[in-house]
Amino acid sequence: MSNQVVTRTLKASITNHSQVHDDLDSHGFAASKLWNIGRWTISRVWDAIGHIPDADELCSYLKNHERYADLHSQSSQRVLQELGEAFVSWYKQGDSGANPPGYRKGGDEHPRSTVTWKNQGFKLDTEYNRVRLSKGTNMKKSRYAADYILCDFTVQADNQTLDGVESVQTVRAVWTGEKWELHFVCEMQIDTPETPGEKTAGVDLGICNTAAVSVGDKTLLYPGNALNEDAHYFRHEEYATEGENGPSNEAQRLRQKKTRRQEHFLHALSKDIVEQCAIHDVGTIAVGHPKKVRDGSDWGRHGNKRLHGWAFETLLSHIEYKAEERGIDVERVPEGALKTSKTCCECGTEADSNRVERGLYVCENCELVANSDLNAAENMRATVTPNPARDRSNGCLAQPSVRLFDKSTGRVAPQEQVVP
């Protein structure tokens, strides 16, 4: 066993919610107002000079604005950073049919936005499970009133406290749609076991199949059934529409619910992938990193939207930290130059015609028949395996074990055990 410092987010319930929710509401509304002012500023700058200001420029423009002082200065900076990042992501998407980030407003009301306090904006008491969150200057009702929000909390994870963490970097107040909760972003020390084995695994991330895993003599396929069903369910006309006035309160609630369900799915999926790798004595995982897959390609309006919503970076990060806890190394493999989907993992022949239909790969040269995603996963594995053919089972590439997300249990299980 060895010790390692990692970054984790611990969620906590606020136990004195009735005493602090008014103050948290005020700060959540203030964050939405500042977002909207930043959104208005970006529109005016864009119209005037054709330039989208970044986060630093936004902070420079608005640091003397009255609404900037509604929050602690670092909290206001974070709101504008998130807005700037959202606009950069929209602009890079390159889809003329996609709407830019909208205003946070539903009717005459502002939704409650997440508020982030960095190290100068909070004071943590781990002995009594309390945290003091600094109020914005404008939120201090009188010179004698408290200049902070005092939250009592309980960490939601079993057998987990903040006592053992190295440091808490930020605290976020997050509105769940029903109540506020706290998210502590921490650096903490964990015990990592010795590497479970010497085998290697390749992982290909996708949209239809969220992940395909090859260990050589064992292959696993993870269809994105739950994500696709949620996408269809939440694609309600009110939810999907975002104009100048932004989403309605109902749409905002649905988005938060969809985000929570997606996050749970990705955690369950990454946990199962790493557990299966550990069971099969894997010491190194090679994961395809489609970092530039959104750049320079037009997949059509529907395809662009699905691609933009593809949370591959989140899933990859979950796989990395869960593997780290088991002592398994993870290597990100850039997909751009490898052409893993077109190249036969058996003989190396590269041809577009090898993908005869969705999901099926047939090599014209060596006649390998494989699931196309697993062929790509095996090509990933080859980047960290000196002789991948030595333990490869070509039969497994055509007939993988399918593992599905079971909504009744919230876990991933073999297909035959999942309740339809």
Least confident of 20-34, 95-109, 127-141: 95-109
Percentage with pLDDT > 90 across the chain: 36
What gap in Å lies between CA 79 and CA 70, rounded to an integer?
12
Whether 353 has a pLDDT exceeding 60, the answer reads yes
HSE (side-chain half, CA atoms, 13 Å) at 134: 18
Tell me the whole-structure pTM to 2 decimals. Answer: 0.65
Domain boundaries, the chain: 2-192, 199-417
> What pLDDT digit, counting tens, does each position of 26-39 carry?
999 999 999 999 99
Average pLDDT over residues 350-367: 77
| Percentage above 70 pLDDT, the chain | 80
> Cα–Cα distances in Å, from 223 out to 51, 208, 232, 308?
41, 6, 15, 19
Query: What does the mean pLDDT of the chain come to?
Result: 82
pLDDT, greater one: 151 or 165: 151
Tens of pLDDT, residues 188-244: 777 666 666 788 999 999 888 899 999 988 899 999 887 777 766 666 544 555 555
pLDDT category of residue 337 using cuts at 50, 70 and 90: low
Residue given tokens 């929050």 in the structure block: 71
Q: List the single range of 49-53, 146-150, 172-176, 270-274 with lowest mean pLDDT.
A: 49-53
Least trusted range by pLDDT, from 142-156, 306-320, 374-388: 306-320
* Cβ–Cβ < 8 Å for 203, 211: yes
Cα distances from 331 to residues 8, 286, 324, 346, 380, in angstroms, run 20, 5, 11, 22, 10
Query: Is the model's pLDDT at 249 over the cut of 50?
Result: yes
Instruction: Compute the distance between CA of residue 154 and CA of residue 12 in angstroms, rounded to an integer.
Output: 5
Q: For residue 162, what is the DSSP state?
A: S
DSSP β-bridge partners for residue 330 = 285
- Is the model's pLDDT at 12 over the cut of 90? yes
Report which secondary-structure segment, H or E, holds 219.
strand 219-223
Quickly state the pLDDT bin for 250 (edges 50, 70, 90).
low
Q: What is the pLDDT of residue 385?
A: 83
pLDDT for residue 303 is more than 50: no
How would residue 248 be classed by pLDDT, with cut points 50, 70 and 90? low
Cα distances (angstroms) measured from residue 248 to each of 244, 299, 305: 11, 29, 20
Supply the CATH classification number for the domain 199-417.
3.30.420.140
